């Protein structure tokens, strides 16, 4: 039996994710991307990211986490990004990007996961982004 407090905690947790996803969509739009939130992505096993974005000829699949100091991204969620890009976006992989986005307080940290890690089955069991990390993806520049 699920206690009422557990339901409240779950609602707050989901609201945080929804909030961060919406903030990121606005940030992407402000930086010249076309972006949309995928509302059914979280609990689904379908290969859908939290956010889909395009800038010029590049397509981005974002997995978004809201946390205080560090964010974990399970392997299954990273795989979903690559499955989405591989199965549903019919273009060269050089134009497709899997991005982990951690909303840590007022700070965003972005990490692009290389295609070779997915192709060689070398994705980590959990990817972690710390608040002090620099990330390897510049949202303003995108990929050229």
**Residue 10: band (very low, low, confident or very high) from pLDDT cuts 50, 70, 90:** very low
Q: Is the pTM of this model over 0.75?
A: yes
Q: Which domains does the chain have, with CATH numbers?
A: 4-130 (3.40.1350.10)
Report DSSP letters for 44-106, one per residue. Answer: --SS--SEEEEETTEEEEEEEEEESSEEEEEHHHHHHHHHHHHHH--S-GGGEEEEEEEEETT
Residue with the bigger pLDDT between 17 and 62: it is 62
What number of other Cβ atoms are within 10 A of residue 136's Cβ? Answer: 13
| pLDDT tens column, 77-113 | 999 999 999 999 999 999 999 999 999 999 999 999 9
Q: Is residue 42 predicted with pLDDT exceeding 60?
A: no
Q: What is the mean pLDDT of the chain?
A: 88
Dist. CA 125–CA 72, nearest whole Å? 10
Q: Is residue 132 predicted with pLDDT exceeding 90?
A: yes
Dist. CA 134–CA 115, nearest whole Å? 20
**Residue 7: band (very low, low, confident or very high) from pLDDT cuts 50, 70, 90:** low
Write the DSSP symbol of residue 136.
S
Question: Which helix or strand (DSSP H or E) is residue 137 part of?
Answer: none
**Residue 18: band (very low, low, confident or very high) from pLDDT cuts 50, 70, 90:** confident
Dist. CA 73–CA 122, nearest whole Å? 15
Residue with the bigger pLDDT between 97 and 68: it is 97
């Amino acid at each position: 039996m699920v206690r009422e407090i557990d339901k409240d905690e779950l609602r707050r947790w989901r609201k945080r994710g929804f909030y961060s996803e919406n903030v990121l969509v606005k940030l992407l739009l402000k930086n010249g991307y076309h972006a949309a939130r995928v509302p059914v992505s979280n609990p689904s096993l379908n290969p859908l990211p939290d956010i889909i974005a395009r800038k010029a000829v590049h397509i981005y699949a974002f997995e978004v986490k809201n946390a205080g100091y560090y964010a974990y991204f399970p392997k299954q969620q990273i795989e979903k990004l690559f499955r989405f890009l591989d199965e549903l976006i019919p273009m060269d992989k050089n134009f497709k990007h899997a991005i982990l986005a951690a909303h840590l307080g007022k700070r965003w940290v972005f990490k692009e996961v290389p295609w070779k890690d997915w192709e060689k089955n070398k994705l980590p069991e959990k990817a972690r982004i710390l608040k002090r990390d620099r990330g390897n993806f510049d949202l303003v520049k995108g990929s050229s």
